[in-house]
Chains A and B, each alone.
Chain A
């Protein structure tokens, strides 16, 4: 499995502010994804992070709210913008390694918005 470092591991933020989550992988990967897991819920795909180009967003998620960067094959960021309490959730970076279809998750970022 890939070693996926995600930070911060948790944060408490004020309404209206923004938080950027970082994801670093130890080796080259083909695909990087960002998921959200609300309390007691399943994993919902936010977007596919594309290297050097705009991310591909799923229905219900937009770039203005969740801007994503992926400047190279091993690093991506997700920003949660203009946060509200409804954004309180766990955000998970996930990757598919080159030559391996299996999806692995980072340790997640637990976000609480007051």
Chain B
């Protein structure tokens, strides 16, 4: 089955700087890669996603890149703000069974 590795587990960046979270996946059949943000005590919220036929996708301060050959994908947050502090999860899924498998998460701290 699919296995998703995520790094780092914790990340602290100065407000205004950029944050990068990296993930790798094992199943070459995976073709859909969403990212979720979870604030304390709340449900995970989808923030951006990318399909395997696209190498990069951007939505305002958030971007995701995908290297299908290397089986890794990354989340980039620019001009970080205090409200970006949360736990971020990457995930992967394939058409074979539509199951979405999550990485272990990255706790992002934005320092004032």
Contact = CB atoms under 8 A, between A and B. Distances in A.
Interface in B1-20: 1
Contact of B98 (A59, A96, A108): A96
B86 interface: no
A48 B46 CA distance: 19
| Contact size range, B | 20 to 34
Contact of B101 (A30, A45, A101, A102): A45
Interface in A63-114: 92, 94, 96, 101-108
A43 B89 contact: yes
A107 B102 CA distance: 18
Interface in B64-112: 89, 91, 93, 97-105
Contacts of A33: 99-100
Given A30-B98, A43-B44, A59-B1, 7 more contacts: A33-B99, A42-B89, A42-B102, A101-B93, A102-B34, A102-B46, A103-B46
8 contacts: A42-B102, A42-B103, A59-B1, A102-B46, A103-B93, A105-B44, A105-B45, A108-B43
